[in-house]
Structure 1
Amino acid sequence: MGGFRRQLPSMTALVVFEAAARQASFTRAAAELGITQAAVSRQVQALEASLGFPLFRRLHRTIELTEPGRALAASMSEALGIVAQTVRTITSAKAANELTISATVAFSHFWLLPKVSSFRQADPDIRLKIVTQDSHIDLQRDEVDVAIRYGDGTWPDGKAIMLFGDDVFPVCSPDYLAARGSPDCVADLARHNLIASDSMGPGWIGWEQWLAAFGHGNNPRNITLSCNFYTDALYAAMRGEGIALGWHRLVDDLLQRRQLVRVSVETLRPRSAYYVVLKHGAMKQSVAAFLDWIRGEANAAAPAPLENTLYANESAVSGG
């Protein structure tokens, strides 16, 4: 038996005919298909010529299906409906196994990526995509399933589930500390080479807020290097360029490997925290699997408590 191509006329002409029959208008079919009315007319005429009989009666300012036209229109509508439903089913099944996660550059680089292999091993069928950017992604408009954010947990585009809070303290390389010595106090710290980074959003702590929490907000600060990404600030600190602020959850591995060391006992615990933010509505299976994994990982990978720590009053940080 020959293939369908030998048994059927042009598929393009058939699709154009179906639209014209359903719309009962060459003009409306043209608008639906994004082609001209003349192109619709030509396709229908070519189809009629290949079949050997008319499909429409051309009346004054209107068209009307012939008996063969009605039969072919019904078959085309049913056939295209079946194809469309099959495509929806296939793409829906594929989408259920896809997961797109948004995270800041720092969280993705220092926390998520070092741990995500365990998620991929647990759910190897899920196709994972990680979107790293510090600018805000709208879950309602962008093609993202889950966002990991730092803040107060109030975002209108999704449901926020708290992962963990964090502690912020100064860090530098062992070589820098050996060469320059440990600061005697916060005021002495402000005179060291400080590395700053641009804010990643509300609640993110910079040197001004951190020093203010310990009563030194008005002291002169020796900012010798400023970076627009927090990751760059940490790499500069590891290279011995100065002292940066370290988020315990992000720098814990670097502390364990002695690529960074804690500089002082003063530590700030902001009111903001890390959250998993989910789209409103039904939860995909892949999202549920990721949520279970990251909550378990957040508990299992909690860094050891800081010893000999002097915590600042949280209320000393405005907006944090």
Structure 2
Amino acid sequence: MYKELPPLPWLRAFDASARLGSFTLAAEELGLTPSAVSYQVRGLEAQLGHKLFRRERKALILTRLGQAYRPVVAKAFADLDATTSNLFGKGAEAEITLRCVSSLNLLWLVPRLEHFKAANPDSRLRVLSASWAELAEGEEIDVDIRYGDGNWSDGEVVPLMTHAVIPVCAPALRSGGSPRSLARGPLIELAGVVDTWRHFFALHEPDCDIQEPAYKVDQSLIALELASRGQGIALVAEVFAQPYLQSGKLVQASALTLPPRQGHFLVLPSERNRFRPEVTALVDWLRNEAQT
């Protein structure tokens, strides 16, 4: 592996010399003698089989290949420096990156975050939203809150909470609460979930004729907003509906529910340090909030 990679001290000597235009200045930066820096650069040139500098009387001039090689080496050191700082530097442990599915983020997490900050005033929280559980390119996630069956293999999976699925509607649309009255709709359904209106009626009124949903949406928040505007009856997880029920914007359209088959889980990615004290504090706080 890395058979063509030159020794890192040689690359550091080349990077400093190219940046500063002088073996003497590079030596001061690296804590070496100018002859040591010159020796390392010559070693690099010998391994590569090409000259990287033209040595002139008062300056070093990069050759064409040296000009092409310099940004690659500089970027490699910059990336290594930034990653080392992010993972192990003084500011790395203080910041926590939390990703949460969008509806839970807005309806459950955000109203509670002030309590976490009050208990952990020195913490720095970076909160990201995701509609689904897709991995974001290049993102480093410390704690990922996902909705599903908990069957993920890219980290430690910790149960957070499960919820019954309930039908809700604007107060003016509530009528009776029987399956047949619900079937008259209009119905609002979430796409991509296992708990659909078809499953609801199959459980409570198998012979009931139901119409196609008037709306199919990809987020509980959209379903709740449509329902609160009188556009239909939405079937959503109870945890999402609670703020709307408490405010009176929505009422439970029926006492009938679907038992939970999926839930929210914490996923702690394998490549991140799950045992950082600030991450442990966040995980413990989230689980406690979910229980209470």
TM-score > 0.5 by shorter chain: yes
Q: State the partner residue of 1:282.
A: 273
Identical counterparts, % of pairs: 27
User: What's the CA shift for 1:292?
Assistant: 1.4
Q: CA RMSD in A?
A: 3.4
User: What's the CA shift for 1:237?
Assistant: 0.5
Alpha-carbon displacement from aligned partner over 1:151-186 (angstroms, at most 9, x marks no partner)? 222210011111121111100111332xxx334x21
Q: How does 1:238-253 map to 2 (within 5 A)?
A: 238-253=228-243
In structure 2, relative to structure 1, the CA distance for the partners of 1:89 and 1:271 (3 Å cut) is: closer
User: What's the CA shift for 1:121?
Assistant: 2.0
Whether the 8 Å contact between 1:170 and 1:244 is mirrored in structure 2 is: yes
Whether the 8 Å contact between 1:100 and 1:143 is mirrored in structure 2 is: yes
Secondary structure (helix, strand or coil) at the match of 2:140 reads coil
- Could you tell which deviates more after superposition, 134-143 or 153-162? 134-143
Q: Which residue, out of 143, 148, 160, partners 2:145?
A: 148
Whether the 8 Å contact between 1:102 and 1:137 is mirrored in structure 2 is: no
Q: Which residue, out of 100, 113, 123, partners 1:126?
A: 123
User: What's the CA shift for 1:108?
Assistant: 0.7
**Alignment partner of 1:296 is 2:288:** yes
**Alignment partner of 1:189 is 2:182:** yes
Q: Which residue, out of 213, 235, 238, partners 2:203?
A: 213
TM-score normalised by L of structure 1? 0.66
**Alignment partner of 1:24 is 2:33:** no
Q: Which residue, out of 256, 261, 264, partners 1:271?
A: 261
Give the AA of the match of 2:285.
Answer: W
Cα distance between partner residues in 1 of 2:239 and 2:283: 18
Q: How does 1:39-58 map to 2 (within 5 A)?
A: 40-42=52-54, 45-46=55-56, 49=58
Alpha-carbon displacement from aligned partner over 1:209-243 (angstroms, at most 9, x marks no partner)? 22222243873324222223221111000111110
Cα distance between partner residues in 2 of 1:124 and 1:88: 22
Secondary structure (helix, strand or coil) at the match of 1:240 reads coil
Q: Which residue, out of 208, 214, 218, partners 1:228?
A: 218
User: What's the CA shift for 1:27?
Assistant: 6.8
Q: State the partner residue of 1:163.
A: 160
Question: Rg larger in 1 or in 2?
Answer: 1
Give the AA of the match of 1:11.
Answer: L
In structure 2, relative to structure 1, the CA distance for the partners of 1:41 and 1:104 (3 Å cut) is: same
Whether the 8 Å contact between 2:221 and 2:240 is mirrored in structure 1 is: no
Cα distance between partner residues in 2 of 1:256 and 1:24: 73
TM-score normalised by L of structure 2? 0.72
Q: State the partner residue of 2:172.
A: 175
Cα distance between partner residues in 1 of 2:38 and 2:233: 67
In structure 2, relative to structure 1, the CA distance for the partners of 1:110 and 1:209 (3 Å cut) is: same
Whether the 8 Å contact between 1:139 and 1:147 is mirrored in structure 2 is: no
How many residue pairs get aligned? The number is: 244
Cα distance between partner residues in 1 of 2:213 and 2:86: 57
Q: State the partner residue of 2:111.
A: 114
Cα distance between partner residues in 2 of 1:9 and 1:277: 44
Structure 1 residues without counterparts, runs of 5 or longer: 1-7, 31-36, 52-79, 301-320
User: What's the CA shift for 1:112?
Assistant: 0.8
